[in-house]
Structure 1
């Protein structure tokens, strides 16, 4: 229903209005791509005028950058929030992977903005995604380092958990980079036409990362039990 005649509509706070515009922008950018998306479409979906979008977010480039930053922050926050410090190293890694794949599956437009759009349109957009990737890689480096130091016997229902051994810092960082890259690639493939549910995608990468290809060939599997 429209506003009652003669009654001034309640003014929406600026922060709320900006988020509303960005929600619309993420949807349009994710579905149509940066170049094909128009400010008219974004304004119409947000239920505001195009001049208001420019007033709040200045330009299409700045709007797209703001969308990348918001979606990157939401993804990294989801991964970090899922991990309980008191858990064994393998369980922490599992929780992080499951959160990553669940978030990307539940936010396909945001993931498209990060994984497809931002990477393909050069600077400064690619730099924003690189910053997100570095933050995730640093976090995974910490988790793998903790696992290397843990050196505890395998937990019940797991294979190869907590094996002792020393890893050089360079090896740990390299493994973290590889794991984050694999997660991004697998999410891009898994979310395309719903090829693989989030939990199955997490299990696939967890088995590969923790059990190892050799263990998988021998029929071994990691279990979250």
Structure 2
């Protein structure tokens, strides 16, 4: 069997084991048995448990990012791009629950260098969403009123909500990717649309401007 195919089998087994058992509890013996290979072969190909886990994070992060970017159809209005991107995100996390568990639960809670690997992917997704929100502001009016810092903050909030909602959807029977995406669109887009048209929320009795 070609080395690339064998490595793919071992990575599949590792993602499943790490996702279901957790990084600390997962053993190289379990991974080798699930992959149908010897433990020395796993070490020969992937060196160590840390390096294997890092390789799993990178593979799953790249797959998720590619799915989101491919899902958001260019040329559509910004809200339609965001909708299709969210559907792609929730579809991918639902179809790859072990990979999402590796990214969202395991990598973030076991320190460096794992958290940095996930951070790189997250930064790319935030940048992508920032571009969509900025495009929506430009569609609303040619001289956007939203400062760059506000756009960046909205993107961070939206991505954080998507991450949390994906974890909940994967653990809640009967919640489809479409339903999860619709929940987040209903939660976020009405507010975003108001902001695009200069209708920002303010505490009662406070003049227009940044809320404090």
Where on the TM-score scale, by shorter chain, does this alignment land: which range? 0.7 to 0.9
Q: Matched residues in 1 for 2:33 and 2:178: separation?
A: 36
Q: Normalising by the residue count of structure 1, what TM-score does the alignment of the two structures yield?
A: 0.82
Question: What residue number does 1:138 align with?
Answer: 127
* Structure 2 residue 76 is matched with structure 1 residue 82: no
CA deviation after TM superposition for structure 1 residue 195, in Å: 5.7
Residues 69-148 of structure 1: pairs in structure 2 closer than 5 A: 69-148=58-137
Alpha-carbon RMSD:
1.8
Aligned residue pairs: how many?
Answer: 194
Question: What residue number does 1:9 align with?
Answer: none
CA deviation after TM superposition for structure 1 residue 67, in Å: 0.2
Q: Which runs of 5+ in 2 are unaligned?
A: 195-212
Question: What residue number does 1:44 align with?
Answer: 33
Question: What residue number does 1:180 align with?
Answer: 159
CA deviation after TM superposition for structure 1 residue 84, in Å: 1.4
Answer whether contact 1:150 1:164 (CA < 8 A) is retained.
no
Q: 2:171 pairs with 192, 196, 199, which one?
A: 192
Q: Normalising by the residue count of structure 2, what TM-score does the alignment of the two structures yield?
A: 0.87
Larger radius of gyration: 1
Answer whether contact 1:189 1:195 (CA < 8 A) is retained.
no
CA gap 1:86/1:134 in 2 versus in 1, 3 angstroms: same
Q: Matched residues in 2 for 1:100 and 1:25: separation?
A: 22
